[in-house]
A and B are shown apart, each in its own frame.
Chain A
Amino acid sequence: MTATVSTKRMDLHVSPLGRVEGDLDLRVIVEDGVVTKAWTEAGMFRGFEMILKGKDPQAGLIVTPRICGICGGSHLYKSAFALDVAWRTELPPNALLVRNIAQACETLQSVPRWFYALFAIDLTNRRYAKAKGYDEAVRRFAPLVGESYERGVTLSAKPVEIYAIFGGQWPHSSFMIPGGVMCGPTLSDVTRSIAILEEFRHNWLESRFLGCSVDRWLEIKTWEDMLAWVDENESQHNSDLGFFLRFGLEIGLDKFGAGCGNYLAMGTYLHHEKYNRPTIEGRNAALIQRSGIYANGRHYEFDQARVREDHTYSFYQGSGLLHPFEGRTEPMDPAEAKRQGKYTWAKAPRYEIDGLGYVPLEVGPLARQVIAGKPGEAWQDVDPLFSDIIAKKGPSVLVRVLARLHEEAKLYKKVREWLGEIDLHDRFYIKPVEHEFGRGFGATEAARGALADWIVLENGKIANYQIITPTAWNIGPRDSQNVDGPMEQAYIGTTIQDPGDPVELGHVARSFDSCLVCTVHAYDSKTGKEIGVYRIGETG
């Protein structure tokens, strides 16, 4: 293809934009080599919310993990809590510990798998051939054969071995149920889990990824600390994280992909002694990794009642701004929907903030780490690092990636701690009353961000089930006010050096770690007559 970067206005259409897990099409308008408008188009719809209607109250435990095999354990975690709330269950401490361990192990798996298999291979793009670190990037990150790729992807399977010990398998177990968990672990289940975790730490996390102890890494509290850490010694300088930080700065990953700058975390890891009677109201105060909103420089408390979904630009009947308890999923033929200006299967989640209206919010590790910057209790995740980085450098592809990587060290420590707190002689389950009527809300933080279910039970079956995925928050479309979704905003201002190989667009998409299959409502790209992918059409 001819790369005609000119001062002209171009319409660039990338289909498929791979390695975002699922199908994401992207259309951007480029003016003078800079993105000025963007549309993210999710291309697939399966209708899980429609399938769940009228089914067994516990059907969500089987169905929702299958929305996304990448974060199926997270789906299970929040759908179990939604039912706990609806059935007004009691949870023994062990059940909360095991659920937390399992969910955290899924994320421990996701971080290296995402980093090596999905993100870092773009660093081997020939675009960077002139960069000083290029040969080294190829040696480490080349797909399937790179030294770090092979080790990282292979060892990413280790943390989910722990998941399998408690849940039988990963992906797609349904072992978390209202009232607790299905397993009754034995001594060796716990000791083996500890040994696997230590093997993961030793063989990858510390030796290859950090180049230092987990504790040394966690001493980093500011951006300057992080830069000093890189140059502290050879081992840190040459670890995968040390190298990524240096190379990322060299090729300018800190220069684009800022996004909307406003963040939402619904929080996760419910404390084993503080959420034994799950309710919507009691949830925020029991979260180890906290919930919250950070918008226009201020922190706000999270309240699920302020969540809405807008589908003005989504392939569903009508438009509206509905709370998920009242949510509707009525799909349209995309061909017809497009005539109404709709362009994606993703709905546009919004959050109401007094004085700001219904705003789009970025979710994910960066959101969580910004929320971690506010004061909290000693048992909670309180961490000033990313508030500091945001204040000094602002958000970018690089910062988003660093937030994700940073959490790996913290989660290792939490899992180790929780394994130590399981009381093998206590209960793991308390049989609940299966109420015929009820409403529940359950949420968590999947590796890629806030994930929540709203369930309404009537006459012993599901009357309504609505799911909002992190991917919907991030890649969702414009809303009725014509405000872009967070990822769409993140593209604006990105310089495309070569429209024939717009690697920058890939970096932005992948920094969000969107798993497109994760949008329950997912899309159709434009059905152009030509099958040309970077369709470079001059639009005047």
Chain B
Amino acid sequence: MATLLWFQGGACSGNTMSFLNAEEPTVCDLLTDFGIEFLWHPSLGMELGEQAQALFHALARGEKPLDIFVFEGTVIRAPHGTGRYNMFAERPMLEWVQMLAPQAGIVVAIGDCACWGGIPAVAPNPSDSIGLQFLRREFGGFLGKDFRSKLGLPVINIPGCPAHPDWITQIVVALATGRAHDIALDELNRPKTFFTSFTQTGCTRNQYFEYKQSTMEFGQGTRKGCLFYEFGCRGPMTRSPCNRILWNRQSSKTRAGMPCTGCTEPEFPFFDLAPGTVFKTQKISGTIPKDMPAGLDPISYMGLAAAARVAAPQWAKEDMFVV
């Protein structure tokens, strides 16, 4: 039996909604098959008011064991560091985080907001939002660089906007089945097993990418081509398993014709949504993509692209995802 507490700060509940889509295990299976006891969750809890607060205080004082503390949403610090823009159970949410995080066996930040600030932290960041242990790519965040949970771990980041349900349920099952030692983290404290491969890994448009053939239009235009060249797709430089572990068991954004927005990386939303940057590839002198596929330099890329275009067979210029 492991206890789990889930709080929301500056959140949209998107990660909760995503979590409720889980299968194998479902949220109910986590309890019945893996003994995960949900102490409280804003959408699932039975307690109202005082009963809930008594529980939170017992956890904060260490009187009741807290194995997994999941935090969704940003830590809101406005105004002037008081956190009063986000009150919860009669105090600023940031105080609850301060009290509960050190009592937890592990602390999990779920979704971009909790990991590194996400959309609320986009300029002008009206709520002075910050992630638990990062702000964008900068290490530290609300809890600070030195924070370690009771098991000696930094905050485990499960990014994404939202995170895919498997990215957290499989980690929870790993903890529950004695595989904690198999969870390795990357430099952003994301589980490597999910965030080493690229969004592009497994994308159905890979053959178009290989021959540098672009999708030229949305809608019917996405029956062919790769979205990287014109529509700002970040699949080649974003670490996520979106095309290995499909969404809602069916598809992924890039498969459905939507460019990857890079939402498992700390910079999301990229370019702070400046005019001209949404769904448009940023280019140097109108031709070369400004952001290269991971690990490539512009010269090598241009050579590769030129050769690929010459080599492109006829089928690579035609529709593949047809009626």
Whether a CB of chain B sits under 8 angstroms from the CB of A18 is yes
User: When each residue 195-224 of chain B gets 1 if its CB lies under 8 Å from chain A and 0 otherwise, what string results?
Assistant: 000000000000000000000011111110
C-alpha spacing A187/B223, complex, angstroms: 12
Contact stretch, chosen from B18-26, B63-71, B148-156: B18-26
Q: Which of B166-174, B273-281, B293-301, B305-313 contacts A (4 or more CB under 8 A)?
A: B273-281
Shortest beta-carbon distance from B92 to chain A in Å: 9
Q: Mark B1-41, 1 if CB is under 8 A from A, else 0.
A: 00000001111111111101111001110011000001010
Distance between Cα atoms of A515 and B47 in the complex (Å): 18
Question: Contacts A59-B273, A182-B218, A534-B50; is A19 near B90 (CB within 8 Å)?
Answer: no
Q: Does B86 contact A (CB under 8 A)?
A: yes
Structural contact, B275 and A169, CB atoms closer than 8 A: no
B85 pairs with A334, CB closer than 8 A? yes
Within A488-518, the residues touching B (CB, 8 Å) are 501-503, 505-506, 515, 517
Q: Is the CB of B12 within 8 A of A23?
A: no
Please tell me if A528 contacts chain B, counting CB pairs below 8 Å.
yes
Interface string of A153-175 (1 = CB under 8 A from B): 11011001101111111111111
- Tell whether B161 is near chain A: CB-to-CB under 8 Å: yes
A427 engages B119 (CB within 8 Å): no
A333 touching B79 by the CB < 8 A rule? yes
Give B117 Cβ to nearest chain A Cβ, in Å.
Answer: 11
Cβ of B91 within 8 Å of any chain A Cβ, yes or no, is: yes
A121 touches B85 (CB 8 A): no
Whether B273 pairs with A533 at a CB distance below 8 angstroms is no
Q: Is the CB of B13 within 8 A of A184?
A: no
Chain A residues lying within 8 Å of B176, measured Cβ to Cβ, are none
In-complex Cβ contact of B48 among A143, A144, A425, A502 (8 A) = A502
Residues of B within 8 A of A165 (CB): 250-251, 256
In the complex, which residues of chain A have a beta carbon less than 8 angstroms from the beta carbon of B269? 59, 62-63
Residues on the A chain within 8 Å of B253, using CB: 167-169, 173, 175
Q: With the chains together, A21 CA to B45 CA distance in Å?
A: 11
Q: How far is the CA of A157 from the CA of B166 in the complex (A)?
A: 14
Let me know if A428 and B90 touch, CB within 8 A. no
Closest chain A residue to B74 by CB distance? Answer: A46
Asked whether B178 is an interface residue with its Cβ less than 8 Å from the other chain, the reply is no
Given contacts A66-B161, A95-B219, contact A168 B255 (CB under 8 A): yes
A378 within 8 A of B: no
Please pick, from B16, B47, B220, B276, the residue contacting A18 in the complex, using a CB distance under 8 A: B47
B278/A69 in contact, CB under 8 A: no
Q: Is B87 an interface residue (CB 8 A)?
A: yes
B129 close to chain A: CB less than 8 A: yes
Pair A184/B79 contact, Cβ less than 8 Å: no
Residues of B within 8 A of A54 (CB): 275
Task: For the complex, give the distance between the alpha carbons of A15 and B50 in Å.
Answer: 7
Tell me if B57 is interfacial: C-beta within 8 Å of chain A: yes
Q: Is the CB of B90 within 8 A of A525?
A: yes
Q: Which residues of chain A (37-95) have a CB below 8 Å from chain B?
A: 43-48, 50-51, 54-59, 61-63, 66-70, 72, 92, 94-95
- Within 8 Å by CB of A143, from B16, B46, B74, B219, lies B46
- With CB as the reference atom, state the residue of chain B lying closest to A110: B17
User: Interface segment, B120-128, B137-145, B179-187?
Assistant: B120-128
- Decide: B278 and A61 in contact? CB cutoff 8 A: yes
B194 at the interface (CB under 8 A from A): no
Q: Is A183 an interface residue (CB 8 A)?
A: yes
Residues on the B chain within 8 Å of A187, using CB: 323
In the complex, chain A residues whose CB is within 8 Å of the CB of B123: 51
Query: CB-nearest residue of chain B relative to A67?
Result: B12
Contact of A69 among B15, B22, B221, B261 (CB under 8 A): B15
State the CA gap A48–B12 with chains docked (Å).
11
Instruction: Tell whether, in the assembled complex, residue B48 and residue A501 are in contact, meaning their CB atoms are under 8 Å apart.
Output: yes
Q: Is the CB of B32 within 8 A of A145?
A: yes
Give every chain A residue within 8 A of B266 (Cβ-Cβ): none
Task: Say yes or no: A168 contacts B258, CB within 8 Å.
Answer: yes
A331 at the interface (CB under 8 A from B): yes
B90 touches A429 (CB 8 A): no
The answer on a CB contact under 8 Å between A44 and B44 is no
Task: Knowing A19-B45, A47-B120, A166-B256 are in contact, say whether A171-B87 is a contact too (CB < 8 A).
Answer: no
Nearest neighbor of A187 in chain B, beta-carbon distance? B323
> Quick check: is A113 within 8 A (CB to CB) of the other chain?
yes
For residue A335, CB closer than 8 A to chain B, the reply is yes
> With an 8 A cutoff between CB atoms, is A140 at the interface?
no
A69 with B17, Cβ < 8 A, contacts A333-B80, A527-B90 known: yes
Residue contact A168 to B251, C-beta cutoff 8 Å: yes
**Interface assignment of A179: CB less than 8 Å from any CB of chain B:** yes
Per a CB cutoff under 8 Å, which of A70, A425, A501 touches B323?
A: A425
B62 at the interface (CB under 8 A from A): no
Contact across chains for B274 and A56 when beta carbons are under 8 A apart = yes
Q: Which of A207-263 contact B (CB under 8 A)?
A: none
B161 in contact with A172 (CB, 8 Å): yes
Closest Cβ of chain A: how far from B37's Cβ, in Å? Answer: 10
Contact across chains for A23 and B87 when beta carbons are under 8 A apart = yes
The interface residues of chain A lying within 8 Å CB-to-CB of B82 are 333, 335
Contact sample, A vs B, 29 pairs, CB 8 Å cutoff: A18-B46, A44-B85, A45-B78, A45-B126, A46-B120, A47-B124, A48-B120, A51-B126, A56-B273, A62-B261, A66-B12, A66-B118, A70-B12, A117-B44, A157-B20, A168-B256, A169-B247, A169-B253, A170-B247, A171-B14, A171-B162, A181-B218, A331-B79, A517-B12, A527-B84, A527-B87, A527-B91, A531-B90, A533-B51
Further pairs besides A168-B256, A427-B219: 16, Cβ < 8 Å: A13-B49, A16-B42, A18-B46, A48-B120, A55-B273, A63-B122, A70-B14, A72-B12, A72-B14, A157-B21, A170-B21, A175-B257, A182-B218, A183-B222, A333-B84, A429-B219
9 closest Cβ pairs, A-B complex: A69-B14, A429-B219, A47-B126, A533-B50, A168-B253, A428-B219, A169-B247, A533-B49, A164-B248
